[in-house]
Every structure is written in structure tokens, then in C-alpha cells.
Amino acid sequence: MSARPAAGTGEDPGTAAARLTGRPVTRQRPLSATLTEVTLDGGRTVMVKRGDGPGAVRAEAAGLRWLAAADAVRVPAVHGHDRHWLVTGQVPVGRPSARAAARLGRDLAALHTVGAPAFGAPPPDGPTDAYIGLAPMRNVPGTDWPHWYAEHRVLPYLRRAVDDGTVGRGEAELVERACERLPELAGPAEPPARLHGDLWNGNVLWGTDGQAWLIDPAAHGGHRETDLAMLHLFGCPHLDRVLEGYQEVAPLAAGWADRVGLHQLFPLLVHTVLFGRGYAGQALTVARTALAR
């Protein structure tokens, strides 16, 4: 598989890496359509990612730097970026362990505690129009989590799913009614947390150094239970140990386990928009469960 140039740039990943790092490239190995492993002169290996939409690279670079600034979780260093390309450090991948999982939980708690200026606040230098995976995501600040979450995280993707014909209008009413009940279902009010924002298992790398590393953030200010709900949704090795470590540092409010589904509405509807009807059924089940409480 050959490395593809970014649309409109004429550059391949190796050329972009050399320009952005100032180091000649000795080798490049494509890993996917958008990700290439590049070895720089001197032996350092970096990851070169091609952005998939306007602002995507800027948002990811700003998110990585914002998470790193908290001095809590491990993220790859940003070695350079422009509108089309992002160059980051490589994480040598090993195997997950219970010890690393417990530390990840403690570190996530520390990250969340650092906080954010508001719900929906983007990282410094991050764009308002960001991305979660391949889906656009707007970072619009708000002060009240239930209303902000409904307006800026759940309902935009629900409307898109209805427009696409993936969710019926009658089905959408279930989710809308669940959103109306969020103020009573959301639990005690909490300050905005600094979130990774797209914390599914694929964005947790278990390094050969025995620690967990986080990649591909959709970072913003949000509710801390949202990151944990994402880990629940798509599975995470030693999740029980992650939660134990988290609770040691920043205990979750009573009833958090009953709220996991509410925090999963956002990623489930994002996946409905990106991947279709299968995820819509899960979102509707969450809404029905919430309405039955």
C-alpha cells in the first residue's frame, strides 16, 4: 500500500513529516488510508496522520496539547501540524495489564479534576467546529450540563439521523423526551471536567512501558461520567480496575452506574450517523430505559 498525498497538497506523509519536523525521512510505512509510520533521520519514529475535514488537524493537535498540559494522562507529543497533516510521537504498543488499568483510572480522575472553563469549551487554540472521529462536533460553551448536553451533543446527531432516514420521527420523540428529563436524571451538578471526549477502547494504547496512552481526542469541557461511559460502551480491558483506580482519587456521585446510558446517547447517535441503524437501536433502548425511571 503506497502512502497517499493529502488532497490539494501534492505531499505524501514522508514529505509532510520532513517539512514539519525539519528532519529528513529515511522510511515510511502506511498503516491505513490516513495514518503512516515514518522514521526520521537519527532513528526517531513518528506517526503522520492526514486530516479528514476542515479544522480536524487543528482540533486534534489542540486537544493533545490541552490534555498534556494537565500533567495527568500520557498522550503522544505533537511534533508539528498544519491544515492537512499532524505529526505525533509513536507509542510502542504492548499488552494491557490490571496495574496499568488502575493507574489509568487514577490518571483520568486527575485529568477530569483539572477542569475546563465551561461545558463545551474547546481547548486553547482549538476550533469551535471540531470533530469526533469522522463526525463534525461543535464546541459551544454552556453553564448547565443537562441543557448543554441535550442541545449540543445529543439532538444535533438525532436530527441528522432523522434527516438521513436512519431514525424515524416517532422514534426520535423518545430521545427528545429523554432529553427533556435530563435535569432530573443527571444526578448532582458537577463542574466542567477536562475530557478526552472520544474515549473508546481503540483510543487507549497499552504501551510497552506498562502505562496507558490516550490518542485521537475530541477534547472539550464536559461531564466526567461521559468519558467513563464511553469506556463502558465499547469495552476496555480491566475496566473494573480502571473504575477502582478512578474512585480512589475522585469518587463518583451516587447513582452513577444508572446514568451510564444517558452519557452513551451522544456516542451512540454519532455512530448512528456514521455507521447506520444498528446503533440507533441501542440509543432508543437507552431512551426507553431513562423514561421508565
Distance, in Å, from the CA atom of 163 to the CA atom of 269, rounded to the nearest integer, reads 13
Task: Answer for the pair 218, 284: CB distance below 8 angstroms, yes or no.
Answer: no
Task: Answer for the pair 96, 206: CB distance below 8 angstroms, yes or no.
Answer: yes
Distance, in Å, from the CA atom of 158 to the CA atom of 178, rounded to the nearest integer, reads 12
Classify residue 6 by its DSSP letter. P
- CA nearest neighbour of 70 among 227, 210, 279: 227
Q: Catalytic residue among 107, 198, 216, 227, which?
A: 198
198 is catalytic: yes
Rg (CA), the chain: 19
Distance, in Å, from the CA atom of 181 to the CA atom of 183, rounded to the nearest integer, reads 6
Q: What is the SS3 assignment for 255?
A: coil
Q: Which residues are catalytic?
A: 198
